[in-house]
Structure 1
Amino acid sequence: MKISGVDIRPGNIIEYEGGLWKAVKIQHTQPGKGGAYMQVELKNLIDGRKNNVRFRSAETVEKVRLDTRDYQFLFADDEMLTFMDKENYEQISLSKDMLGDAAAFLQDGMDVMLELYEEKPISVQLPDHVEAEIVEADAVVKGQTASSSYKPAILDNGVRVMVPPHISAGTRIIVDVYAQEYVKKAD
């Protein structure tokens, strides 16, 4: 679907210079001299490059719609991750690089969302929050509990997060997958 360059909104996926780009930030500018334009920060969905582009109202771009499907994580093998389509049980293997740092939070049987463009996987979306166990946490320094200070802790998946002083080893917590931050203590 073709849209005007000034109608681009954050989160839109567009086809630009032969690649798939996601609009991250936009700024509408109307200079005193000349026509208005939309300054758009784009992120390439394939290789992660960023680009700043100006679109005038007369320009049109192709807005792309991605298909999303529910998949289940099965297992990791060296640098590859295997997922299963929950509808037809077909398996697909993807590189760990596609998930970046979030790959450490994958758990066996976890439900994920794959975004596909022309049946080709573009990205993998994990749940925003996952439950993990603290395997190692620094001891509390006396007098430190009065202030809102945090201490380093290591999760069962090897990721290092900052946690409140009352959290100790063996405690299960909820972690934000993408920010890699402590959210709350698990019930």
Structure 2
Amino acid sequence: MQHQTLPPGIETILLDAETIAGAIRRMAGEIARDYADRPLVLVGVLKGAVFVTADLARALAEVPGGPTDVQLDFIAVSSYGNAHRSSGEVRLVQDTTYAIEGKYVVIVEDIIDNGHTLHYLRAMLGNRQPASLRAAVLLDKPYHRAIDVTVDYTGLTCPDEFVVGYGLDYQERYRTLPYLAKLRPEVLPA
């Protein structure tokens, strides 16, 4: 990796853009294999998964024999607020736009940490009777898992650090970085 000046507050890059892109392509290949010649709905979890969802949709379009049609929808939930640790209480902020009954659905998440958000989404969306419901998560952070929840497609294992970039933020900052980074200790409250 070439030397680059890091933005204020960033200590180090943990996963570069090329590594993330490779993980997205691999997940797209796995999803395409499972949904070959079927229409698919990707439900991205806002705001963090916006880049993962867009890049995954583009990668799926490049897989020969993959899904015949990929639709995008988004849902917003909150369990962090302005904190850097999840409260464990998930609340719906914005629902999906389209009905998913009878459709093949993949929930797209940026990161799974304690499991509360994905557990909530699987239960809520599962009650809407999709033809199938699976989950794709770019970053698996298993160190503090509180709920055992199924992840069908996993991109990378996340270090046991508070990370930002590629959709993940700290107080709405750093979300647009093209890589995953560790914040300097003085940026986070004790």
* TM-score between the two structures when normalised by the length of structure 2: 0.23
Greater Rg over alpha carbons, structure: 1
Q: Which has the higher helix share?
A: 2
Larger relative contact order (CA 8 Å, sep ≥ 6): 2
